[in-house]
Amino acid sequence: MNAQRSGSRPLLAGNWKMNPARASEAAELARGVIGAARAASATVDVALLPPFPWLLGVAELLHETGVGLGAQDCFWEPAGAYTGEVSAVMLSGWCQWVLTGHSERRQIFGESDEWVSKKTKAAIGVGLNVILCVGELDDQFEAGRTDEVVSGQLQAALEYMSPGDSGRLVIAYEPIWAIGTGKNADPEHAYKTMRAIRRVLDESLGDEASSRVRILYGGSANSGNVGSYVELPLCDGCLVGGASLKAHEFARMIEVVAEVYGGPTTEEATTS
């Protein structure tokens, strides 16, 4: 089955969060998805986002595999007395991706819309591709405020962005009530929210620039439900958390997305 698309390649990005505990486990996890990613490379973009300590080792494994490497956060200043921070400048040149505005950064570490906007602008300014996360809390979802909350977060992040930056921007809709809970959003709800996201992108950047921005779903995505999301007309892939920590599960997700887009599976690529 082929999803109705506007020409965007799907993206599967694995956010490992603060996992795994050891460098050897990080290497094993990366190796476990490279084969599936290579087999689907004509159809699906794949990126891995390890914790900062494992970036260098994973980068060596991913070299010339076509799998992108990303960091889970960055700071907006290029250098200075900011103990514990890692700047976008430091990541540029060897990372291709960076995550900004993840719900855990917003909720646990208190990052404001202004901070997320600064980080996004700084990362794009040094040539990184940014996966910007937006999403609502459970009580906001129950109150029917999803579009309001998500649109506000997105508008704040786009305030200092030019249409020319749009090719480096990806938006991940991650309902906070679905992060790590096993309770994924209904595809109909995801579609309605992505439609609101697309509307804000069109209004802020213009239709042409907006069309270059991919929209992902994030929130308890796995191999069993990923197809129901990437089949949505406005969904261009998934930001994957817990499922990306199991190599066989993430590899299967890559295969499912390739199948939806009409690309070869791992088995087909191996035997062709």
Active-site residue set: 102, 174
Distance, in Å, from the CA atom of 107 to the CA atom of 27, rounded to the nearest integer, reads 30
Give the chain's end-to-end CA distance (angstroms, integer).
Answer: 20
Q: How far is CA 111 from each of CA 11, 71, 74, rounded to the nearest angstrom? A: 25, 17, 12
Written in H, E and C, the secondary structure of the chain is CCCCCCCCCCEEEEECCCCCCCHHHHHHHHHHHHHHHHHCCCCCEEEEECCHHHHHHHHHHHCCCCCEEEECCCECCCCCCCCCCCEHHHHECCECEEEECCHHHHHHCCCCHHHHHHHHHHHHHCCCEEEEEECCCHHHHHCCCHHHHHHHHHHHHHCCCCHHHHHHEEEEECCHHHCCCCCCCCHHHHHHHHHHHHHHHHHHHCHHHHCCCEEEEECCCCCCCHHHHHCCCCCCEEEECHHHHCHHHHHHHHHHHHHHCCCCCHHHHHHC
Distance, in Å, from the CA atom of 252 to the CA atom of 170, rounded to the nearest integer, reads 23
| Phi–psi pair at 253, nearest 5 degrees | -60, -40
